[in-house]
Chains A and B, each alone.
Chain A
Amino acid sequence: MNPVKKTSPRTAPIRTLRTFRRFTLLQRFEHILLVLTVLILLLTGLPQKYRSTEWSQQILSTPDRVTTVQQIHHITAIFLGVEVAFHLLNAIYLMVRRQLSADMFPSLQDIRDAWWVLLHLLYIKKGKPAFGKYNFEQKVTYWFVFFGIGILGISGLILRYPEFFTRFLPGGVIPAAKLAHSNEALVLFIFILIWHFYHVHIERFNLSIFTGWLNADDMREYHILEYRNMTGRHGDRQKSGEKKG
């Protein structure tokens, strides 16, 4: 699959690899902010979730520390909340101005793609579907995190301001919010560990969300439709790869 491998470095022809802009500076910044805030929220949230355990009591060793950790958690949550609000408003604004495509929205094609990939993984169907800017795996990640943060944000607000929320909501939402908050956080955490980390670290080491660029090889391999869009070329490397292999 990798043509560079077969030729020795001395005789290798100079190969220029085009890179394509995949993420804007703002999007990269938003991702870093998301990573940092979620990490802090996890680190300050897990000891609170598991307060009965020894390790948690080591961390939350004094009542003052509990308060401090809670304060860090709440302040970080405000940052994340502002980021989410900005993200949504910005996305709406850009889409209204036709400056942002609706690539991220799920479609029926994603379900067909997922089915295809599943059959492919089970050796039932050959080849992979052609993906656009975001394949269904990436969309699943985005929307899972999106709704996860939504649930965490709402339940977190209920837990932070229970007196306020029970003025118009039944009291039962408080323990439900507590249950949802800690469960959702854990599901989200483990899902990111399994799903997202596999796709960006193991399947291929994909730094495009940090650098903003993706090279032509990866574009052709994983986002052929987007590649065609951006270059106007056919560039169907997958087929030639199959033949070559």
Chain B
Amino acid sequence: MNQPHSRFKLLGFVFTLAVTLLIGLIGLDSTQQVQAAPLKQETETYCLSCHGSPELKNLTLPNGDEISLFIDPQALTMSVHSPAGIECEACHTDIKTYPHPEIDYQTARELSRSYYLACQKCHPSNYSLTLDSMHTQVAEAGNLNAPICTDCHGAHNVQSPNEPRTLISETCGRCHTEIFTQYKQSVHGAALLEGNPDVPVCTDCHGVHNIQDPRTEQFRIAEPEMCARCHADAALMGKYGLSADVYDVYSLSWHGVDLSVYKARWPTIWHDTAICSDCHGVHDILSTSDPASRVSEENLLATCQQCHPGVGPNWTGAWTGHYRISLERTPFVFYTNAFYTYFTPVILWMSGIYVILQLIRTMVDRARRSLR
């Protein structure tokens, strides 16, 4: 009777010991991971033992594309992934051994478009955002040159995409060269290149991963509000001596009211009401004080004539624009406004009081007669 009891005791002891050891081991293991990070780069070191050599022969794909198999160890170790312990096989999931398995990509592009799918393993939300993008639509329509993750972020040398901030627009500019050239000369782009952090880069207006077609009704209708994100910010605009009223006053203007109706009721119908970019330009926006600006005194009439063909030089005076009513800028509106500010209440109060007096007198007279 005594023996089985003690045997159970022994079993219990062994079990407890085992569990303790196991927990301890796991604990030890995790601390080891942090402490011994360089050790984990084994795969990388192993791969680089071949791919780190510039003498490695190029790979020739069936269509004749040549791919360099050389991976610059410097670039790899400087990337965001390598120091975080994310190594070759994380993306090259199909390669586990040497000799490597056969690949059946016909073109270099096909290869890229296959490997980039590995990004979604760790970046699922950004990946799914790209599925809604203009770039994916273009790719689905057959243009395989449409950018994929690695085209913008790089492959082995992935860096933080916004350091420095100019890098964002430069990245887009690699394909959108013409627009980037325009942008660099614009008031926004020039300031960006000078290191100004306040001006918009491409992604501020176009979005990041789910970049939309900017030629649609939806983009057009939302555009003034997009500009207003910065241009209605009094603190930001004050820094540069710009008015933060521009959007509010625009909203009250002929153009702005029309736009608001389209926005509220017919967002999917194309409208020709002037929005910010119609007058100020898109990527080539210049300071309004710049004589070359589309809205400078010399160019304003031609800008108006885009939509109002045949109007004369006086036409631009009709533009109450982005300014509140003032005697200096808009004397006609100022006096009209002043007139109705007094005329309307005076007329309505006078006629109202007169009618009320008459009503009182009539009723009092009637009451008096009936009492007699």
Is the CB–CB distance between A179 and B333 below 8 Å? yes
A170 to B334, CA, bound (A): 14
Is the CB–CB distance between A195 and B318 below 8 Å? no
Is the CB–CB distance between A187 and B343 below 8 Å? yes
Q: Which of A51, A120, A162, A166 has the most CB of B within 10 A?
A: A166
Is the CB–CB distance between B264 and A167 below 8 Å? no
Q: Which of A1, A171, A184, A190 has the most CB of B within 10 A?
A: A171
At the interface, yes or no: A175 with Cβ under 8 Å from chain B? yes
Is the CB–CB distance between A170 and B332 below 8 Å? yes
Stretch of A21-29, A55-63, A213-221 on the interface side: A55-63
- Would you list which residues of chain A between 20 and 70 have a CB under 8 Å from chain B? 51-52, 57, 60-63
Is the CB–CB distance between B362 and A169 below 8 Å? no
Shortest C-beta distance, B340 to chain A (Å), equals: 4
At the interface, yes or no: A172 with Cβ under 8 Å from chain B? yes
At the interface, yes or no: A17 with Cβ under 8 Å from chain B? no
At the interface, yes or no: A174 with Cβ under 8 Å from chain B? yes
A1 to B370, CA, bound (A): 10
> Per DSSP, are chain A's interface residues mostly helix, strand or loop, or mixed?
helix
> Per DSSP, are chain B's interface residues mostly helix, strand or loop, or mixed?
helix
**Among the listed A63, A162, A191, A202, which residue makes an inter-chain contact with B266, where contact means beta carbons less than 8 Å apart?**
A63
What string of 1s and 0s marks CB contacts (under 8 Å) between A86-124 and chain B?
000000000000000000000000000000001011110
Report chain B residues within 8 Å CB of A61: 265
Shortest C-beta distance, A68 to chain B (Å), equals: 15
A61 to B265, CA, bound (A): 7
Shortest C-beta distance, A160 to chain B (Å), equals: 14
A182 to B179, CA, bound (A): 44
At the interface, yes or no: A85 with Cβ under 8 Å from chain B? no
Is the CB–CB distance between B311 and A166 below 8 Å? yes
Report chain A residues within 8 Å CB of B319: 171
A170 to B337, CA, bound (A): 17
A233 to B354, CA, bound (A): 32
Report chain A residues within 8 Å CB of B330: 172, 175-176
Is the CB–CB distance between A194 and B352 below 8 Å? yes
Shortest C-beta distance, A151 to chain B (Å), equals: 10
- Would you list which residues of chain B between 32 and 68 have a CB under 8 Å from chain A? none
Shortest C-beta distance, B337 to chain A (Å), equals: 6
For the complex, count residues of A whose C-beta is within 8 A of B: 42
At the interface, yes or no: B269 with Cβ under 8 Å from chain A? yes
A202 to B317, CA, bound (A): 48
Is the CB–CB distance between B266 and A166 below 8 Å? no
For the complex, count residues of B whose C-beta is within 8 A of A: 45
**Among the listed A171, A187, A191, which residue makes an inter-chain contact with B340, where contact means beta carbons less than 8 Å apart?**
A187
Given A57-B265, A171-B316, A195-B355, also A190-B348 (CB < 8 A): yes
Identity of the chain B residue whose Cβ is nearest the Cβ of A194 in the assembled complex: B351
A178 to B340, CA, bound (A): 12
Stretch of B131-139, B186-194, B212-220, B253-261 on the interface side: B253-261
Report chain A residues within 8 Å CB of B343: 187
- Would you list which residues of chain B between 308 and 356 have a CB under 8 Å from chain A? 308, 310-312, 314-320, 330-333, 335-337, 340, 343-344, 347-348, 351-352, 354-355
Shortest C-beta distance, B251 to chain A (Å), equals: 9
Report chain A residues within 8 Å CB of B265: 57, 61
Is the CB–CB distance between A179 and B266 below 8 Å? no
Report chain B residues within 8 Å CB of A1: 369
Given A61-B265, A191-B348, also A179-B340 (CB < 8 A): yes
Shortest C-beta distance, A181 to chain B (Å), equals: 10
**Among the listed B333, B362, B372, which residue makes an inter-chain contact with A203, where contact means beta carbons less than 8 Å apart?**
B362
At the interface, yes or no: A183 with Cβ under 8 Å from chain B? yes
Shortest C-beta distance, B77 to chain A (Å), equals: 59
Given A63-B269, A163-B312, A166-B318, also A176-B336 (CB < 8 A): yes
Shortest C-beta distance, B286 to chain A (Å), equals: 23
New A-B pairs, 8, CB < 8 Å, besides A120-B361, A172-B330, A172-B331: A1-B369, A121-B360, A170-B317, A171-B318, A178-B254, A180-B336, A187-B343, A202-B359
